Amino acid sequence: MAAHKLVLIRHGESNWNQENRFCGWFDADLSETGVKEATRGGQALKDAGFEFDICYTSVLKRATRTLWLVLDSIDQMWVPVHRTWRLNERHYGGLTGLNKAETAAKHGEAQVKIWRRSFDIPPPPMGPDHDYYAIISKDRRYADLTEDQLPSCESLKDTIARALPLRGIVKHLEGMSDEDIMELNLPTGIPILYELDKDLKPLKPMQFLGDKETVRKAMEAVAAQGKAKK
């Protein structure tokens, strides 16, 4: 029997996900589809009878709003929430704002997959002349970060050094190799359940909460984001 239960949920589709753009630390909000995904994820948790003790989220509004919608769906808005920049997704550096399909057409799908999914290879850095440099680096929510804490780009390995983001947590719990993590497509807005023993070791592989067809389509949509348009 599980001593603990951990539920992970990737934020619902953002406006930039919808436009197939590299987002990273840019504070894109949820799209209408993303709102529906988050609400549906909350309903799946409600149907399964989950009650939570504490929640954690990044300081990006797409993640925070997803959490709000989930907690509202399960009528647990009172549950304590800890927000930290350390849970932000990886910083996509110079790729921020670029269309993924157009970038794949220019640099090749293999290179884009490495930038998006590899464990220890970061994307090109974001320089001061980048369109979104000032918007991100001068944002008040990062005012307390030291110069070496504020990244210009990040690999998954870099991101894990500041905290375990969603993909990093799954890699750790599943014991996945650097190669296997590149093939993992985590769907937006679908709750992922881990049942853990007293030592916080998973008793079984991840379980997606929701109907199989919805999960399948969501994973396929994520996989298609880094491919060039035919």
Closest CA to 55 of 69, 36, 39, 34: 69
Kindly state whether residue 182 falls inside one of the protein's structural domains: yes
Position 2 confidence tier, pLDDT thresholds 50, 70, 90? confident
Q: What is the mean pLDDT of the chain?
A: 93
Position 229 confidence tier, pLDDT thresholds 50, 70, 90? low
- Contacts of 106 by beta carbon, 8 Å cutoff, 6+ apart: none
Instruction: Judge contact between 60 and 117, C-beta under 8 A.
Output: no
* Active-site residue flag, 89: yes
The pLDDT > 90 percentage for the chain reads 74
Q: Note the pLDDT of residue 228.
A: 67
Q: Which CATH number belongs to the domain containing residue 56 in this structure?
A: 3.40.50.1240
- 32 φ/ψ angles, rounded to the nearest 5 degrees: -60, -40
What count of other Cβ atoms lies within 10 Å of the Cβ of residue 92?
25
Annotated ligand binding at 89? The verdict is: yes
Instruction: Judge contact between 85 and 57, C-beta under 8 A.
Output: no
Q: Note the pLDDT of residue 198.
A: 93
Kindly state whether residue 160 falls inside one of the protein's structural domains: yes
The continuous run of DSSP H or E covering 226 comes out as: none
pLDDT (average), residues 41-70? 97
Kindly state whether residue 153 falls inside one of the protein's structural domains: yes
pLDDT digits (tens, 9 = 90+) for 104-150: 999 999 999 999 988 899 999 999 999 999 999 999 999 999 988 99
pLDDT digits (tens, 9 = 90+) for 139-180: 999 999 998 899 999 998 999 888 877 888 899 899 999 888
Kindly state whether residue 229 falls inside one of the protein's structural domains: no
Annotated ligand binding at 14? The verdict is: yes
DSSP state of 58: -
Kindly state whether residue 230 falls inside one of the protein's structural domains: no
Annotated ligand binding at 11? The verdict is: yes
Position 226 confidence tier, pLDDT thresholds 50, 70, 90? low
Instruction: Judge contact between 38 and 17, C-beta under 8 A.
Output: no
Position 230 confidence tier, pLDDT thresholds 50, 70, 90? low
Q: Note the pLDDT of residue 186.
A: 86
Tell me the C-alpha distance between 16 and 27, whole Å.
Answer: 9
Annotated ligand binding at 167? The verdict is: no
Q: How many domains does the chain have?
A: 1
Kindly state whether residue 118 falls inside one of the protein's structural domains: yes
pLDDT (average), residues 171-200? 90
Kindly state whether residue 124 falls inside one of the protein's structural domains: yes
What DSSP string describes 60-123?
A: SHHHHHHHHHHHHHTT-TTS-EEE-GGGSPPP-GGGTT-BHHHHHHHH-HHHHHHHHH-SS-PP
Beta-sheet pairing, 207-208 with 191-196: antiparallel
Q: Which of 37, 89, 130, 154 is catalytic?
A: 89
Domain residues for 123? 4-224
pLDDT digits (tens, 9 = 90+) for 62-89: 999 999 999 999 999 999 999 999 999 9
> Furthest-apart CA pair in the chain: how many Å?
54
Q: Which of 11, 37, 130, 154 is catalytic?
A: 11
Kindly state whether residue 62 falls inside one of the protein's structural domains: yes
Asked whether the predicted pLDDT for residue 225 surpasses 80, the reply is no
